[in-house]
């Protein structure tokens, strides 16, 4: 990887954008891309670098787009010999193996409510290089002593959260608040303005009350289906620390969906079972 590619990879990592890196890992005979040649591709199809050009590179681009769609890479062999069955339309005559690596976007989480679950989450997220910010309308609950690794700590009313924060920068919003009415206010605004995962910690009664109120405000079924409640893997978590572990485990599973032998599906878009066991804050 040259400096230009390294800078582009770092830029995408810092911007929390997924990308694919294709690297020549083995060559036999005459090939256009030498060992170690590499190329990056982003979700918009733009590329930096090269694995050799011509038909080989076009096929690698196709596989890179598939890797972005499926959120999984792989190792691929190519014969650069048009006269061979399955060979690329090339007269080089050699062969090349190319590894395609899917690099997922790192989570950037906004925590609403600086309570016990938020503090427990904040202790786990930095070790995974997952970024987070915290917002609360109580100054004593968002201090640097409580959240030393937060990118931002803001004392803000729920009605102004999306005036203070840029919604598009976050992959997840977790409502961990202490006041159902304030959670509801932010939830209603977030369904309109926040495009990504919305998670809500709530008892069954609290959740049903909030859903009922949202329906009364005209929120449709498809919008309600965006709310993930409960959040976290179902591991029987009860204490704030255990709930934090379950939430982080779910984030890890989202990052590596195919490593568990499951179809690569964006879990953020799947409706949740409303009868699932709830966890109260």
Question: Quick one: 248 and 118 in the same domain?
Answer: yes
Question: Quick one: 112 and 82 in the same domain?
Answer: no
pLDDT digits (tens, 9 = 90+) for 121-175: 999 999 999 999 999 999 999 999 999 999 999 999 999 999 999 998 999 999 9
Give the predicted TM-score (pTM) of the model. Answer: 0.75
Half-sphere exposure of 259 (CA within 13 A, CB side): 6
Is 274 domain-assigned? no
Is 277 domain-assigned? no
Question: Quick one: 88 and 129 in the same domain?
Answer: no
Question: Quick one: 150 and 186 in the same domain?
Answer: yes
Question: Quick one: 85 and 126 in the same domain?
Answer: no
Question: Quick one: 251 and 169 in the same domain?
Answer: yes
The DSSP output letter for 202 is B
What is the rounded CA–CA span in Å between residue 252 and residue 134? 20
pLDDT attached to residue 15: 85
Is 276 domain-assigned? no
Is 261 domain-assigned? yes
Name the percent of the chain in helix, strand, coil, to the closest 5. 40, 20, 40
Is 281 domain-assigned? no
CB–CB of 56/88 below 8 Å?
A: yes
Question: Quick one: 96 and 216 in the same domain?
Answer: no
Domain-ending residue, one of 48, 70, 103: 103
Domain containing residue 213: 108-269
Q: What is the CATH number of the domain that holds 250?
A: 3.40.50.720
Is 278 domain-assigned? no
Question: Quick one: 217 and 165 in the same domain?
Answer: yes
Question: Quick one: 239 and 173 in the same domain?
Answer: yes
Is 246 domain-assigned? yes
pLDDT attached to residue 178: 82
Question: Quick one: 146 and 192 in the same domain?
Answer: yes
Is 139 domain-assigned? yes
pLDDT attached to residue 257: 67
Question: Quick one: 156 and 221 in the same domain?
Answer: yes
Provide the 10 A C-beta neighbour count for residue 165: 18
**Successive 10-residue mean pLDDT values, the chain, 281 residues:** 91 90 93 90 93 88 94 90 80 88 93 96 95 96 96 96 94 92 95 94 91 93 92 93 96 77 41 35 39
What is the rounded CA–CA span in Å between residue 44 and residue 32? 26
Question: Quick one: 114 and 35 in the same domain?
Answer: no
pLDDT attached to residue 277: 31
Please give the tally of structural domains in the chain. Answer: 2
Domain-ending residue, one of 53, 87, 103: 103
Domain-ending residue, one of 103, 122, 147: 103
């Amino acid at each position: 990887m040259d400096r230009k590619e390294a800078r582009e990879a770092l830029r995408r990592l810092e911007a929390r954008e997924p990308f694919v890196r294709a690297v020549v890992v083995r060559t036999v005979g005459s090939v256009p891309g030498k060992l170690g040649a590499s190329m990056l591709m982003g979700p918009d199809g733009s590329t930096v670098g090269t694995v050799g050009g011509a038909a080989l590179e076009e096929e690698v681009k196709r596989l890179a787009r598939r890797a972005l769609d499926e959120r999984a890479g792989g190792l691929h062999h190519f014969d650069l010999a048009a006269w061979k069955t399955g060979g690329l339309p090339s007269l080089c005559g050699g062969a090349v193996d190319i590894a395609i690596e899917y690099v997922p976007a790192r989570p950037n989480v906004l925590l609403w409510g600086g309570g016990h679950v938020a503090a427990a989450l904040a202790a786990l997220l930095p070790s995974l290089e997952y970024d987070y910010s915290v917002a609360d309308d109580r100054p004593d609950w968002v201090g640097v002593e409580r959240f030393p690794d937060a990118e931002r700590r803001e004392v803000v009313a729920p009605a102004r959260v999306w005036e203070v924060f840029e919604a598009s920068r976050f992959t997840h919003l977790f409502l961990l608040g202490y006041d159902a009415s304030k959670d509801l206010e932010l939830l209603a605004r977030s369904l309109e303005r926040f495009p990504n995962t919305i998670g809500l910690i709530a008892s069954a009664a609290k959740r049903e009350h909030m859903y009922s109120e949202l329906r009364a405000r005209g929120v449709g079924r498809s919008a309600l289906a965006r709310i993930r409640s409960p959040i976290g893997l179902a591991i029987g978590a009860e204490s704030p620390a255990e709930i934090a572990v379950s939430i982080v485990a779910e984030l890890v599973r989202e990052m590596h969906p195919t490593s568990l032998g499951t179809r690569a599906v964006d879990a953020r878009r799947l409706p949740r079972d409303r009868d699932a066991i709830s966890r109260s804050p």
